[in-house]
Amino acid sequence: MTEFNSVFCDELKLHLSIRKSELGPEAYRHYRRTMILFDEYLCRIKHIVKEIPETVIESWIKEVRKGISLNTAGQHVHYVRQLLIFLVNSGYKCFIPRNLVTHDTYVPYLYSDEDVEKIFAFADSMVVYKFRKNKYVEKEMPMLLRLLYCCGLRVGEAVNIKVGDLDFDRNLIILKVTKKYKQRLVPFGKELAEILYRYCIGMGILNDSDAYLFPAEDMHSHISTDNVGNYYRSIIRLAGINTGKPLKNGRGVCLHCFRHTFVVRSFDKNERHGIKASESVPYLSTYLGHDSLYETEKYLKYSGNYFEDALTKFDDYSGELFPEVTIYE
């Protein structure tokens, strides 16, 4: 028995071959699994006509929602939507459902300009008096936080950067250790390049390509993400950033919120410079190392006090891609 056996088996194979070139390994694995489930469903209901009416899709959505979370079901529906759009563009008559309304399980804190100024000020003046396992931390934290804020990196990506991964001629970081093992290039601005260059000189690592940018006990081991988190919590406590109770589904202020803030600020900046969402969002998605715009959309769907206009503009753009509708019961 072949992988696909429904009336659309050939089209499914072609669609998957295209998606494989567009998605990362992990995302493709999930996408392929959904295609197999949908193919099995068409076979099970003995669907032999080369068109997919609304009744078939409604029944499938009811079935796929059984026994799994709403978010997982929503992902299945999103993937099948992509298949159906492909089939329609190939000349077949298919009903295209709207995405399920899913519940976000994480609400980030978006940093204001005042927050950022306070964080950098306390990081720059940080003094570690005792239990000083890392003698470099007072220099590292100011640079690390600026890198997170300016480039939207994940903390794990930042601590794994080596000096040899920095290209000062083109102002690029070559990220080799990333989530989902996707290497990528991250450009940075001239101002950050100057700070980063002076930092490397001050740390004595500028000419050591194997040295970690943020070392631990020695230059060839890096500071752990746990240590970075511990030091950061001390900094925000001293700075008095969001010391109240976190919002529902929120973790409060954390390092990953720099990445969320970077995404929203980048989108807002592009809008103010007249760059259309249809042009900026795909680029931003690639910059962040996301497998699809669906991942980037989650970073811009949250409400906030400082960037409501930018979030509204993204909603206008993403409405066609990720519409919100009533859930099928």
- Per-residue model confidence (pLDDT) at position 84: 94
Encoded amino acid at 55, one letter: T
Q: pLDDT band at 106, cuts 50/70/90? A: low
What is the average pLDDT value for the chain, to the nearest integer?
Answer: 82
Q: How large a percentage of the chain has pLDDT more than 70?
A: 79
At residue 168, does pLDDT exceed 90? yes
**pTM exceeding 0.75:** no
- Per-residue model confidence (pLDDT) at position 271: 76
Q: What dihedral angle (degrees, nearest 10) is formed by the CA atoms of 66, 69, 71, 73? A: -20
CA distances from 146 to 14, 72, 108, 117, 119 (A): 44, 35, 19, 11, 10
- Per-residue model confidence (pLDDT) at position 322: 35
* Cα atoms found within 13 Å of the Cα of residue 3, Cβ hemisphere only: 11
Whole-angstrom Cα distance, residue 283 to residue 161?
Answer: 22
Q: Which CATH superfamily hosts domain 113-239?
A: Intergrase catalytic core (1.10.443.10)
Find, among 327, 254, 292, 220, the residue nearest to 23 by Cα: 292
Whole-angstrom Cα distance, residue 1 to residue 253?
Answer: 52
* Both structure tokens of 121: 């000020």
- DSSP label of 176: -
At residue 291, does pLDDT exceed 90? no
At residue 111, does pLDDT exceed 80? yes
At residue 1, does pLDDT exceed 70? no
Tell me the helices (H) and strands (E) count for the chain, helix number first.
Answer: 13, 3
CA distances from 79 to 98, 106, 239 (A): 11, 22, 43
Encoded amino acid at 260, one letter: H
Residue 142: CB atoms within 10 Å: 20
- Per-residue model confidence (pLDDT) at position 104: 54
- Per-residue model confidence (pLDDT) at position 276: 72
Residue 95: Cβ-neighbour burial (10 angstroms; 0-12, 13-18, 19+): middle
Whether the Cβ atoms of residue 305 and residue 110 lie closer than 8 Å to each other: yes
| Among the ranges given (36-50, 108-122, 191-205), the one the predictor scored with the smallest mean pLDDT | 108-122
Q: pLDDT band at 160, cuts 50/70/90? A: very high
CA 53 to chain centre: 34
Task: Enumerate residues 6+ apart whose C-beta is below 8 A from 38.
Answer: 60, 80, 83
By DSSP bridging, strand 184-187 and strand 172-175 are: antiparallel
- Per-residue model confidence (pLDDT) at position 321: 38
